[in-house]
Structure 1
């Protein structure tokens, strides 16, 4: 049945925990992490470099006896202040609110398709603070067409892809990139669900400004509705 509420529709697309990383990770291996501006440890980093953030995250994950840290949806962050790509002409138009879900673990970790679909587009989004290699999949479920974005991948992830390529749920579509290729971030997957791709190919905003937040939260609902990590 067609549902007008995309978030409710998304929730019904899966029945249980749906991994987007290496299949050896179980649900219990994931721990939520707060990287918002309210986190004193992050806020007080003089320069939040990729290495400094990775050290902090690795320590947090170890302290929780976990393997992967995740979080960040609708999270206001100071991390983006170091890159000009997030700057607006005025303060309200500066982008600092994350609208995807991040999964922090080692470079080289396998990235999996959340659902069956086809390769919509892929691109190497170069530049400091950008996505680096990125894949977007298109999914058709019932009467709905929507998209999932996988950002901060390795360069090899997009070398052998083709537009329209069919993927099954759980297929390995790439690996996580190092800070040298992923926009200079601690290694992680940026995973985002997109209702209307708005003509983008291989890219879509993953960080919003406060003045456009309502639109982006509606167009990009919480990926955990689909993945069911908690």
Structure 2
């Protein structure tokens, strides 16, 4: 483990979704290319995909489906932002997704200030996004919260401080969140470089080693246990 990874792992009681949803209501979800059942679903159709997620949660008596870090997905083939004629296809997911109903409050994982925010409105993108800056034992890093509601960005200011566990916004629906079934994309970033209100959450296989090093597994913080 790197020093930052150790610090993340040592940090306890981190939540980005309210405690009213208990740990036994979380269930892992495989959206990888190897999910044969998913291949039969119309992942290019937002309504059909949302029904797939809702059915999965209902069948498993759960409220939150989670997963996706370092996962190869076909989910992004419908959008040109993940592939053009000059770059390799981006299909490796480097954040952690929490699939839950739109309107769910989203909490600051740790004490931090608003680094930047933006509505990334293209098809397949994050939609409304907030990035917080944190510091633990002189280690500066960032957490990204993607697919929020438009209301989450209202009256927000750069430098605004949020306490750990304080609501920073709510989840958006497909009309604003990049045209996805409602979910939070949560990502940890070491070096954000010059990015503002945005940072790649999906990369190519060629660039995967860099992004895995720069974006540690968010579950080091959240510690969601598989059921």
TM-score range, shorter chain: over 0.9
Kindly indicate whether the alpha-carbon contact (under 8 Å) linking 1:42 and 1:48 is maintained by their aligned counterparts in 2. no
Alignment partner, residue 7 of structure 1? 5
Q: Normalising to structure 1: TM-score of the pair?
A: 0.94
The alignment status of 1:184 with 2:179, answered yes or no, reads: yes
The alignment status of 1:133 with 2:131, answered yes or no, reads: no
Q: Normalising to structure 2: TM-score of the pair?
A: 0.95
Q: 2:63 aligns with which of 58, 67, 82?
A: 67
Greater alpha carbon shift after TM alignment, 39-48 vs 113-122: 39-48
Question: Gapped runs of 5+ residues in structure 1?
Answer: none
Alignment partner, residue 217 of structure 1? 212
Q: What are the residue-to-residue correspondences of 1:25-44 with 2, within 5 Å?
A: 25-44=21-40
Kindly indicate whether the alpha-carbon contact (under 8 Å) linking 1:100 and 1:191 is maintained by their aligned counterparts in 2. yes
Alignment partner, residue 81 of structure 1? 77
Aligned residues: 225
Alignment partner, residue 161 of structure 1? 156
Structure 1 residue 49 displacement after superposition: 1.7
Distance in structure 2 (CA, Å) of the matches to 1:166 and 1:194: 18
Q: CA offsets per residue over residues 39-83 of structure 1, 9 Å max, x none? A: 112223345222111111111111111111010000000010000
Determine helix, strand or coil for the equivalent of 1:147. Answer: strand
Determine helix, strand or coil for the equivalent of 1:95. Answer: coil
Structure 1 residue 126 displacement after superposition: 1.0
The alignment status of 1:197 with 2:192, answered yes or no, reads: yes
Structure 1 residue 89 displacement after superposition: 3.0
